[in-house]
């Protein structure tokens, strides 16, 4: 698999959870933030990324998309 962010193969190995996220993972975070348990969360960014961050990409490749994912 290639990463859409940095174009490196085997990107799943860089995730701390060693798997890609699912729609259910995102829905659980949204449910938490929208519910009473998230009332005191005030961070401008809540990362729901399985431990992967742009910093995991090799230097010089951060923010680059693979050719197949670029918009025209």
> 66: which DSSP letter?
P
21 or 70: which leads in pLDDT: 21
41 or 13: which leads in pLDDT: 41
Q: Provide the whole-model pTM.
A: 0.52
Q: Does residue 68 register a pLDDT over 50?
A: no
Tell me the average pLDDT across 12-23.
73
* Non-local CB neighbours of 16 within 8 Å, separated by 6+ positions: 50, 51, 52
Pairs from 59-65 (Cβ < 8 Å, separation ≥ 24): 61/6, 61/7, 61/8, 62/5, 62/6, 63/5, 63/6, 64/5, 64/6, 64/7, 65/4, 65/5, 65/7
Q: What is the pLDDT of residues 22-64, one digit of tens each?
A: 899 999 999 999 999 999 988 888 888 777 665 555 555 544 4
């Amino acid at each position: 698999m290639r990463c859409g962010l940095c174009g490196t193969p085997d990107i799943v190995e860089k995730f701390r959870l060693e798997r890609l996220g699912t729609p259910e993972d995102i829905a659980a975070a949204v449910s938490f933030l929208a519910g009473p348990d998230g009332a005191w969360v005030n961070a401008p960014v809540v990362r729901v990324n399985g431990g992967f961050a742009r910093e995991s990409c090799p230097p010089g490749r951060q923010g680059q998309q693979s050719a197949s994912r670029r918009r025209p």
